[in-house]
Amino acid sequence: MSKKIKKFNFWVRRRSHLAVIAIGSLVIALLFLNEDASWEHNMEYQEQIKALNEQIKICNDSAEWYRRQREQLLTGTEQLEQIAREEYRMQKPTEDIFVIKRVR
């Protein structure tokens, strides 16, 4: 028996690169074929991340615009008067307001 084990051990040592190749190819196959870690899903996730980052940038830009509008309202009376007249149709006691509606 020990002679067969020695022969097998010798054969395995001489052919050890076959085991490395087999294990390596198994790992590569799992990377490409596994559903959770496939390259296809990775690319889809990267596209989703890019789209979400663009949405974040757009939201930050609009938030900055609203911050500037708020600052103008808090510091300037002209801006406040314009919004009061246009949005809420407020008037001074001596003025008349004409509302013009567009017909499409």
pLDDT tens for the chain, 104 residues long, are: 688 888 887 877 777 777 777 888 888 887 777 776 677 778 899 999 999 999 999 999 999 988 888 887 788 777 777 777 777 777 778 877 777 788 87
The structure tokens 């949405």 sit at: 55
Give yes or no: residues 19 and 40 share one domain: no
Instruction: Output the pLDDT for position 1.
Output: 66
Give yes or no: residues 11 and 48 share one domain: no
Give yes or no: residues 43 and 3 share one domain: no
Give yes or no: residues 42 and 29 share one domain: no
Give yes or no: residues 42 and 91 share one domain: yes
Give yes or no: residues 6 and 20 share one domain: yes
Instruction: Output the pLDDT for position 37.
Output: 67
> How many domains in the chain?
2
Core vs surface per residue 29-45: b (16+ CB within 10 A) or e: eeeeeeeeeeeeeeeee
Domain that holds residue 70: 36-95
pTM: 0.45
Give yes or no: residues 43 and 24 share one domain: no
